[in-house]
Amino acid sequence: MKAALLAELGLAGTEPLFAQIPPSHRLAALPALPPALTSEAELARHLAALNRRNRPAGEALSFLGGGIWRHHVPAVVDEIVGRAEFLTPVWGTPSSDFGRNQAWWEFTSQLGALLNLELVGLPVYSWGAAAGHALRMAARLTGRRRVLIPAAMCPERLAVMRGYAASADPAMHIELVPVPCDAVGRLDLAALAALANDATAAVYYENPAFLGGLEAGAADIARIARAAGAETIAGVDPLTLGVIAPPGDLGVDIAVGTIQTLGVHCHAGGGLGGFIASRDEARYAAEYPTLLNSLTTTVDGDLAFGLMLFHQSSYGSRELGKDWTGNSTYLWAVAAAAYMALLGPEGFAELGRLILARTAEAADLLAEVPGVTVTDRRGIFREVRLDFAASGRSATDVNAALLARHGIFGGVPVSGTAALFAVTECHAPDDLARLASALKEVLA
Amino acid sequence: MSRPPSRMRRYHAARWDEPLIHQLGAPGRRGQHFELADSDGLVPAGLARTTPPDLPELSEPEVLTHYLRLSQETMGMIGVSLFGTCTMKYNPRAGEQAARALAGIHPAQPPETMQGLLAAVHGLDLALRALSGMDRFTFQAAGGADAAWTQAVITRAWHAARGEAGTRTKIITSLQSHPCNPATAATAGFEVITLPLGEAGYPSLDALKAAIGPDTAALMINNPDDMGIYNPEIMEWVRLVKQAGALAFYDHANFNGVMTRIRARDLGFDASMFMLHKTFGVSKGGGGPAVGAYGCTAELAPFMPGPLVVERDGHYGLEQPPQQATKVREYLGNLHQVFKAYAWARAMGAEGLAEASDLSVLLNNYMETRLLTLRGVTRSHPEQTSPRLEMTRYSLGTLFEETGVSAVDVQNRMADFGIDAFWLSHEPWIVPQPFTPEAGEMWSREDIDYWIDVLAHVIDEAWRDPDLVRSAPHNQVVGQLSARDINDPANWATTWAAWRKKMR
């Protein structure tokens, strides 16, 4: 092909096509890279050898969570996201992308039903990115630059949010003020009420909290925020919303959270995705940085999908747009759409009840292990905070022993002596018993 | 050109008239169920959901067939997509297949339990160092725009560490640099200065000199830009920017045409970015998960957001840079995508990359010789006579003036023949009715010729029967969107609940 094209262009080689690049800019020799594995057979052999050096937690007994969780991914979801039509393209026309746009719309629409909020954007990179954008939205809406956040937060998520809050312009900097929490991460409402004032742009809380607590004070938090003239931002995991009251019922103005739990594997962290949702009001819509996919009609009266408020995105307005957007986690929107459709209202309720029960069961069982302290055995979801202080062991020590002696991945450490052990529908009662017995041995 | 035009394919998109998911199913149907458990008393008072979510109720096969039909109603890469700036190339399935083994890896696993993955991450880091001249790469950024954001937060941290947080307030970019550069700079709190283009298609050195000052924090720029034009003065640009105490960032989104030919570091840049989901053969997922690989010099490396993968005696660990900027994404980024890019780079090797770059520029120039013979097609910056690199910015302005057929109309009509949308142009449009195809190296000559033949056919139709083109598409899943104003709150609907309320 190359020779024929060169002949068509009347060239002996490709060099003249690069005439724009001055010789002094050019590399003299090819960069040094490892020899090419040109055949698929060689490449597959090499990649398989690399994969043999991994021990995926998902294939062992694992209690890792803390921001990204192993939940069951229905087989159908894997097949759908593996379809080349969804996996490999980037963008087409509203007609040629019709099916994908419908899948995206079914993502926002079903997520809105779970949240009981009627405006939902296309996904962002992660929960942290979503929360970061939301606090910037609140700052623009209120003209205030202080956001109250839980003192106990996923450090990965908080680190991302700090980036969105900081500014090279001191006048634009958003201050994140921690609100004291209890042992499972629920806000201290008295402290919150004392901190919320007319400088507060928003109160951000999470439900469930990072340390596992279900935020019983959610409605009060929104009342306190509203009384201060601040926005209420809730970070939620939509997977819980079959059993937990949705943000739309709790006075929340902007909801953010993860979509990873809706049918996406961990993928070494690549499974993350986030969302932003709110009440369907123009003042909120005007602050969305995301692309927004609206149901509309065609000239023939069919239903179709189009991008609304595109002008306010960074594609439409560059630096005058709302924050920025770009490639995101759109494939995971397709996964989440299929996942929500598979579960339906009763599936989410069953899943929520199962995780609540398993979490309580784990808390009861593990609290009996000598050297382990569990402060709250009820009112928690998925994460059980185990404190090994009484045993004199550090959390990383305990995890190392669990892995080395029992092949178990322990929990994500949250302090020197405490770790969050995540329990999901992927765990059988026997798995919990195995953990308890391993912990007994390790802490003995 | 003596070759006869291809026969137009008698393409028609699949049309399933597939209802919205909310209109499917029946009460009581289920696609998944879970073990029954008693959760009485486990939800705090007042926090239990009282009304079930208004989700559809479908069986598993109904959900599968629904989304399979939607996949068939998506042209994707089955047609020919030359969506410029996105480098539409084949994604090798060997990498996709091998990456499935990573699905169960949790990012907080101890490094010793994911040595194979970290080896691949480190291997790609080394390859990108060789290709850019930079000293260190991070893959935390979840897309190209997030890599621009990485530069913005590193710029913030760098100047703060030098006691210049309040004084280095401006970031300079150019009109044809990707919008993510000015947008992330502004989000990070910088004032943006956008340099206009000169006649040659890039901003003049004088414009840059006028913009630079003691308040300059950084330059963020694409080169070549989205028009395939290379700024030959770029080394002088970087010298001036650095002389002023600012950082120089090379958005190498358009690396495909210059792979192995130029390196950001050799031109003087402090940092650069590659898009693994474009240039490095990783699946795009319709818009992510993606990776913006960000590399910089050893001087800037302490400011990179951590952790970074480090190799010692064949063992891979993680380390935190001492003065790191704020994180841009949780954990280490989209590592399963990094693994695929590593596989792609290993399969290509240096000679393969050089050949890919050659082919993408050659195909673009071949396209250009044919496209410029079409009535109503012109090229941006006629004064810039050099061959374009891997992309060319064209205009259908003449066609529009004489027939009323716009670039979007042509896009819609081409989709009737199995050709997916071409890229128009980022904002602002500097030529009327722009379009920007990018051939890449993976489409065959037959594909490229068919693409051009379809455009020629549609342009011919535009003169013969402009209404046929303006009312397109005709062979697609649905026709073109109505004039319904979805920027009006009374009309927009991102959810079924909103739609039903507003349609009442």
Q: What is the pLDDT of residues B314-327, one digit of tens each?
A: 999 999 999 999 99
CB-CB under 8 Å, A302 with B479: yes
Taking CB atoms and an 8 Å cut-off, how many pairs form between chains A and B?
701
Residue of A80, A293, A350 with shortest CB distance to B67 = A80
C-beta atoms surrounding A154 within 10 Å: 26
Instruction: With CA atoms as reference, report the closest residue to A25 among B435, B262, B365, B174.
Output: B262
What's the CA gap between A150 and B142, in Å, rounded? 26
Q: Indicate whether this complex's ipTM tops 0.90.
A: yes
- What CA–CA distance (Å, rounded) separates A205 from A65? 19
**Whether pLDDT at B2 is above 80:** no
DSSP label of A140: H
**A88/B113 touch (CB, cutoff 8 Å), yes or no:** no
Two structure tokens written together for A354: 């199962």
Give the mutation candidate from B29, B36, B67, B263 for the A interface (greatest A CB count, under 10 A): B67
The residues that bridge with A276 in the sheet, in sequence order, are: A256
Q: What pLDDT score does B4 carry?
A: 64
pLDDT at B5 over 70: no
In the structure encoding, which two tokens stand for residue A31, read together? 């960069």
Instruction: Please state, as a whole number, how many other Cβ atoms lie within 10 Å of the Cβ of residue B372.
Output: 12
Q: Which two tokens stand for residue A417?
A: 């002596």
Contact call for A299 and B101, based on CB within 8 A: no
Paired tokens of A66: 């803390």
CB A117 within 8 A of CB A277: yes
Structure tokens at B235: 């080394």
CA angle B281, B287, B293 (to 5 degrees): 50
The pLDDT tens digits along chain A (444 residues) read 999 999 999 999 999 999 999 999 999 999 999 999 999 999 999 999 999 999 999 999 999 999 999 999 999 999 999 999 999 999 999 999 999 999 999 999 999 999 999 999 999 999 999 999 999 999 999 999 999 999 999 999 999 999 999 999 999 999 999 999 999 999 999 999 999 999 999 999 999 999 999 999 999 999 999 999 999 999 999 999 999 999 999 999 999 999 999 999 999 999 999 999 999 999 999 999 999 999 999 999 999 999 999 999 999 999 999 999 999 999 999 999 999 999 999 999 999 999 999 999 999 999 999 999 999 999 999 999 999 999 999 999 999 999 999 999 999 999 999 999 999 999 999 999 999 999 999 999
Distance from CA of A8 to the nearest CA of B (A): 8
Eight-state DSSP code of residue A392: T
Q: Which positions in chain A touch B184 (Cβ < 8 Å)?
A: 324
Q: What angle do CA B322, B325, B327 make, to 5 degrees?
A: 110
Q: Confidence band (pLDDT; 50, 70, 90) for B1?
A: very low
Which H/E stretch holds residue A176? strand A175-179
CB-CB neighbors (< 8 A) of A351 in chain B: 34
Contacts of A221 in chain B (CB under 8 A): none
Give, as one character, the DSSP assignment of residue A318: G
Q: Do B183 and A314 make contact, defined as CB atoms within 8 angstroms?
A: yes
Give how far B500 is from chain A: nearest CA, Å. Answer: 11
Q: What is the pLDDT of residue B6?
A: 72
Contacts of B263 in chain A (CB under 8 A): 27, 31
Rg (CA), chain A: 25
Task: Tell me the pLDDT tens digit for each residue of B248-279.
Answer: 999 999 999 999 999 999 999 999 999 999 99
For residue A97, give how far its alpha carbon lies from the nearest alpha carbon of chain B (Å): 5
A363 at interface of B, judged by CB pairs closer than 8 A: no
Cα angle A411, A414, A417 (rounded to 5 degrees) comes to 85
- Cβ-defined contact of A9 to B55 (cutoff 8 Å): no
Contact between A277 and A246 (Cβ < 8 Å) = no
Element (H, E) at B397: helix B397-403
Among the partner residues A31, A216, A349, nearest to B44 by beta-carbon distance: A216
Chain B contact set for A47 (CB, 8 A): 94-95, 98, 339, 343
Give exposure, B288-314, as e/b (b: 16+ Cβ within 10 Å).
bbbbbbbbbbeebbbbbbbbbbeeeee
Nearest one of B13, B4, B18 to B414, comparing CA atoms: B13
- Global pTM? 0.98
Q: For testing the chain B interface, which of A239, A324, A398 should be mutated: the one with the most B CBs within 10 Å? A: A324
User: Nearest CA of chain B to the CA of A211: how many Å?
Assistant: 16
CA distance, residue B375 to nearest chain A CA (Å): 20
Backbone angles phi, psi at A276, to 5 degrees: -130, 130
> Tokens in use for A105?
């719309």
Chain A partners of B365 at a C-beta cutoff of 8 Å? 9, 17
Looking at beta carbons, which residues of chain B come within 8 Å of A44? 94, 97-98
Residue B105's identity, in one-letter code, is I
Q: Which residues pair with B312 in a beta bridge?
A: B315
Q: Are B116 and A50 inside 8 Å of each other by CB?
A: yes
pLDDT at residue B427 in the model? 87
Closest partner residue to B53 (CB to CB) among A348, A359, A400 is A348
Q: Residue B7's pLDDT is what?
A: 86
Residues 94-133 in A contacting B (C-alpha not used; CB under 8 Å): 94-100, 102-103, 105-106, 108-110, 112-114, 116, 118-121, 125-129
Mean pLDDT of chain B: 96
The structure tokens listed for A431 are: 């798995």
Pairing verdict, β B247-251 and B216-222: parallel
As a whole number, the mean pLDDT across chain A is 97
For residue A94, cis peptide bond before it (omega within 30 degrees of 0): no
Taking CB atoms and an 8 Å limit, are B71 and A96 in contact across chains? no
How far apart are the CA of A149 and the nearest CA of chain B, in angstroms? 17
**Binary contact (B487, A309; C-beta < 8 A):** yes
Check CB contact under 8 Å for B329 and A55. Answer: no
Radius of gyration of chain B (CA): 25
User: Could you tell me the sign of the dihedral formed by the alpha carbons of A324, A329, A333, A339, in that order?
Assistant: negative
Are A346 and B155 inside 8 Å of each other by CB? no
Closest CB to B387: pick one of A16, A316, A403. Answer: A16
Write out chain A residues lying below 8 Å of B48, CB-based. 243-245
Q: Distance from CA of residue B417 to its chain's centroid?
A: 25
pLDDT digits (tens, 9 = 90+) for B117-167: 999 999 999 999 999 999 999 999 999 999 999 999 999 999 999 999 999
pLDDT at B504: 75
Task: Give the gap in angstroms from C-alpha B379 to the nearest C-alpha of chain A.
Answer: 16
